[in-house]
A = this chain, B = another copy of it.
Amino acid sequence: MGRSGEARDREATERMTAQDGGELDLQQYFPYRLARLAEQVSLAVAEVYSERFALTRQEWRVLAILGVRPQIATKEIGPLTTLDKMQVSRAVQGLQSRGIASRKHHPDDRRELIVALTPAGRALYRKIVPFALARETELLGVLTAEEVKVLDRVMHKLSAALS
């Protein structure tokens, strides 16, 4: 006889968190563990763009978008990178000041700025991306195919639950 889904879920939650009644074990607390892991992963990836190429996290995200979407309006970058408009503004300025990106006004709406990679920026992009992809492959390599599949689904589920 199968137990109910609810009972199974509660049991699993207890296994995850090792919680009893009214106490909280930070080491086992899922949000803490997730924050910690994301931090570790972020640091590992940052080695690629930060230590080697002196980019901030925000600049790296914008660069990643520009590599795929040349001629993008600044206002479109925010939603694609989860950065607010101030962060985008500063990141793009940072890239521009190093000759990685260039900006020009949109001809039909002179408020908007259109951002694009310079040749140097495209070269940088092509140099960094393989390292970034390698990091990801390396990381996911410690998981089985099944685990990766479940992880993918789980991340979508959690993200959706929080929107």
Contacts and interface: CB of A to CB of B under 8 A. Distances in A.
> Copies of this chain, how many?
2
B15 A152 contact: yes
Interface residues of A, number: 72
Interface in A130-163: 130, 132-133, 135-137, 139-155, 157-163
A53 interface: no
Contacts of A15: 148-149, 152
A40 B155 CA distance: 11
B147 A153 contact: yes
Interface of A: 5, 8-9, 11-13, 15-17, 19, 22-27, 29-42, 44-45, 61, 64-65, 67-68, 80-82, 126, 129-130, 132-133, 135-137, 139-155, 157-163
30 contacts: A5-B144, A9-B140, A9-B148, A12-B144, A12-B148, A13-B136, A13-B140, A13-B148, A15-B152, A16-B151, A17-B140, A24-B132, A26-B61, A26-B68, A26-B81, A29-B64, A30-B136, A31-B136, A31-B139, A34-B37, A34-B155, A37-B38, A38-B39, A40-B163, A41-B158, A139-B162, A142-B158, A147-B150, A147-B154, A151-B154
